[in-house]
């Protein structure tokens, strides 16, 4: 599998290009057809190969990248939940909060307070 990722014209290496695009442009709306073009595949073949490589769909992958980035921003900055939601590409704060809670197990503000408390206690 590693060899296939490194080889220049394998399906996995082309999926890698799409993964790089998602990581670089996670704030932008995602179109699977555009990613399939980047990977030089049909949309259905791309979707199948992407899921085989990542165990998730391109949209799920983008959502995970957005949520992880949002968590880092919430912990490291004094920005509001709404500001962070929009900064990582969400159009709705309520949708962001629902997805954040589903992914991390608690709402953003509570999650950040808990992490900051754990960091403070761990450094004391």
For the chain, give the secondary structure using H, E and C: CHHHHHCCCCHHHHHHHHHHHHHHCCCCCCCHHHHHHHCCCCHHHHHHHHHHHHCCCHHHHHHHHHHHHHHHHHHHCCCCHHHHHHHCCCCCHHHHHHHHHHHHCCCHHHHHHHHHHHHHHHHC
Q: Identify which of 12, 7, 9, 59 has the alpha carbon closest to the alpha carbon of residue 33.
A: 59
**How much is the pLDDT for 120?**
87
User: What are residue 106's phi and psi, to 5 degrees?
Assistant: -160, 160
* Angle ∠(72,104,86) on CA atoms, nearest 5: 50
- Provide the residue count of the chain: 124
Section 105-124 average pLDDT = 90
- The model's pLDDT over 41-89, given as tens digits with 9 standing for 90+, comes to 999 999 999 999 999 999 999 999 999 999 999 999 989 999 999 999 9
The average pLDDT across 8-29 equals 89
Average pLDDT, the chain: 91
């Amino acid at each position: 599998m590693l060899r296939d990722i490194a080889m220049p014209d394998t399906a996995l290496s082309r999926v890698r290009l799409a993964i790089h695009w998602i990581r670089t442009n996670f704030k932008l709306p995602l179109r699977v057809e555009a990613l399939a073009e980047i990977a030089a595949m049909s949309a259905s073949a791309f979707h199948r190969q992407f899921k085989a490589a990542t165990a998730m769909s391109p949209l799920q992958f983008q959502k995970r990248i957005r949520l992880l980035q949002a968590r880092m921003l919430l912990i490291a900055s004094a920005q509001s939940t709404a500001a962070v939601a929009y900064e990582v590409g969400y159009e709705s704060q309520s949708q962001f909060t629902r997805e954040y809670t589903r992914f991390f197990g608690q709402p953003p503000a509570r999650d950040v307070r808990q992490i900051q408390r754990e960091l403070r206690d761990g450094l004391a």
